[in-house]
Amino acid sequence: MNPSSPVVAVIGAGSIGVAFAIVFARAGWTLRLQDPDPQRLKTALDEVADRCADLSRYGLLEETPSALCARISLHADLETAVADASLVQECAPERLDLKVELFRRLDACAPASAILASSSSALPSSRFAGELPGRARCLVAHPGNPPYLLPVIEIVPAPFTEPDVVERASALYAEAGLSPIRLNREIEGFVFNRLQGALLREAYCLVRDGISSVADIDKVVSQGLGLRWAFMGPFETVDLNTRGGIGSHAQKMGPAYARMGAERGQQDPWTAELVATVESQRRALVPLEDWEERVAWRDRQLMQAARERAKRDRD
Ligand SMILES: NC(=O)c1ccc[n+]([C@@H]2O[C@H](COP(=O)([O-])OP(=O)(O)OC[C@H]3O[C@@H](n4cnc5c(N)ncnc54)[C@H](O)[C@@H]3O)[C@@H](O)[C@H]2O)c1
């Protein structure tokens, strides 16, 4: 073990806690995994080892599962688990009362320099850390599930979070192999679950209205939309779908999307100003003169994915 590598305390050894333990231990860091439930503590390390065995089979682990597990210690006691931590990753259930009490205890016992990050899926940290003396070191760091396979992590500072804490947290997650994005301010559900929620809301409506079946809606994503989303987001997708880029797409499709939104009671038209903002950010990433080349890149990405699917179907 590198003596200068960070010590991370993961609080709560459920689905996300176990998965985060893999992320940080895989980075070579010392990991303290805490849970008040003795049953969870009993099985957590076996779960880590099983998932690491799978990662090894796919060539995604550079050491043996037991070497990784050797960096993880298990703790029933919160104070012991966080005593020498530089990052505390809270992964307890999504309940406001529980997070309020847990953050109160964490702020009282973690070293003053430790960052206190919550994995919260929807609750912003101002809901549970706003009254604490050490609130400046608190924020949300929301992962995908499981974070050792989905690298994105949403860093969500509260208005009281120290900018240096945001910087340090982002750097730590990046060093652990994650891909941090920063929100400019708190909003329930953050970006990940807001995007997921928008799609789910429409999917539920389509089932409710008898337009399509659950299986067919899932197929539209797994055999269509999702194949592109595996390597690019919704803005890049439509930017590359329409000659002239996303501005041209908004002109052609904006009115139809506005009608679909209004049908669902949503009044958020893509104004000219909003489209101009989105377009200028896209053009800074891919200038129009590189558009054809980027479209060819997209097609090669899809070909690679198609080849892998065909291989998987043969195996
Ligand atoms: N499951 C997901 O897909 C997902 C994705 C991203 C974020 N999250 C968030 O991560 C957090 C954990 O979710 P999960 O799915 O791992 O839940 P989970 O129910 O699988 O695990 C929660 C763990 O916390 C333990 N726990 C309960 N009270 C505790 C306390 N006071 N102190 C410490 N540990 C305690 C439980 O024993 C359990 O092992 C939640 O805030 C959730 O919203 C979940």
| Strands (E) located in 52-185 | 72-75, 87-90, 115-118, 138-143, 152-157, 179-182
CA-closest residue to ligand 1 atom 5: 145
* 2 confidence band (pLDDT: 50, 70, 90): low
The Cα–Cα gap between 126 and 140 comes to 9
What pLDDT does 3 receive? 56
Residue 223: DSSP 8-state: I
pLDDT digits 0-9 by tens, 93-108:
999 999 999 999 999 9
Atom of ligand 1 nearest to the CA of 121: 43
* 4 confidence band (pLDDT: 50, 70, 90): confident
Taking 50 as the threshold, does the pLDDT of residue 1 lie above it? no
Bridge-partner residues for 179, per DSSP?
152
Ligand 1 lined by 117 (C-beta under 6 Å) = no
Distance 103 CA to ligand 1 centre (A): 14
Atom of ligand 1 nearest to the CA of 19: 16
The Cα–Cα gap between 15 and 165 comes to 26
Q: How far is CA 117 from the centre of its chain?
A: 13
Ligand 1 lined by 92 (C-beta under 6 Å) = yes
What pLDDT does 5 receive? 87
CA-closest residue to ligand 1 atom 7: 121
Task: Judge contact between 187 and 124, C-beta under 8 A.
Answer: yes
What pLDDT does 286 receive? 97
* Element housing 11 (H / E): strand 7-11
Sheet holding 30-34, edge to edge: 72-75, 30-34, 7-11, 87-90, 115-118, 138-143, 152-157, 179-182
Taking 80 as the threshold, does the pLDDT of residue 288 lie above it? yes
pLDDT digits 0-9 by tens, 244-280:
999 999 999 999 999 999 999 999 989 999 999 999 9
Ligand 1 lined by 170 (C-beta under 6 Å) = no
The token pair that represents 23 in the structure block: 């992320």
For residue 146, cis peptide bond before it (omega within 30 degrees of 0): yes
Bridge-partner residues for 73, per DSSP?
32
Q: Is the pTM of this model over 0.95?
A: no
The Cα–Cα gap between 245 and 237 comes to 10
Mean pLDDT computed over every residue of the chain: 96
Backbone angles phi, psi at 144, to 5 degrees: -85, 170
Ligand 1 lined by 193 (C-beta under 6 Å) = no
pLDDT digits 0-9 by tens, 154-182:
999 999 999 999 999 999 999 999 999 99
The token pair that represents 12 in the structure block: 């709560």
Ligand 1 lined by 196 (C-beta under 6 Å) = no
The Cα–Cα gap between 199 and 233 comes to 14
Task: Judge contact between 33 and 74, C-beta under 8 A.
Answer: yes
Backbone angles phi, psi at 38, to 5 degrees: -60, -30
pLDDT digits 0-9 by tens, 121-156:
989 999 999 999 999 999 999 999 999 999 999 999
Ligand 1 lined by 236 (C-beta under 6 Å) = no
pLDDT digits 0-9 by tens, 203-239:
999 999 999 999 999 999 999 999 999 999 999 999 9
CA-closest residue to ligand 1 atom 38: 14
